[in-house]
Amino acid sequence: MKNNIFPTVYGIISAVLGFLAVVFIMLKTFRLNITISVVIAGIFALIFFVWSYFQARASTEIKRIVRTYNLTDQDLADLTGFKKSDFPIYHDKLQLILPKRFWPQVLHALRRYEEEQNKL
């Protein structure tokens, strides 16, 4: 349950903060009227929500697969082709220190691994 709600809450918080920031920037810096500022901020808030939601979703999915199959940092390095030091595990929890641009590659490799394990 916690993993299902985290990406949504994270996305909502990001969207609200982004909305407020863009409204104030549009009003104070560009001196636009309130209607235009709210519309532009709404578009940015939607973008921030989607971006943050999928980022948090990828993080929870990667960590779920690692936890489910008890993968070590060496296993992750072998599966993904990255270095072992890119996947530190502290207190039995994976720390995703890898740059976020590589998360889709890691997630793809882990999903492929999960499919192989489910076929066995």
pTM of the model: 0.87
E runs forming strands in the chain: 89-90, 93-94
User: Across the strands, what pairs with 94?
Assistant: 89
Model pLDDT, residue 4 = 82
Model pLDDT, residue 120 = 81
pLDDT tens sequence across 54-113: 999 999 999 999 999 999 999 999 999 999 999 999 998 999 999 999 999 999 999 999
Note whether 10 and 52 are within 8 A (CB): yes
Q: How far is CA 90 from CA 2, 64, 71, 72, 97, in A?
A: 20, 15, 13, 11, 12
For the chain, the average pLDDT equals 95
The full length of the chain comes to 120
Does the structure show a pLDDT above 70 at 3?
Answer: no
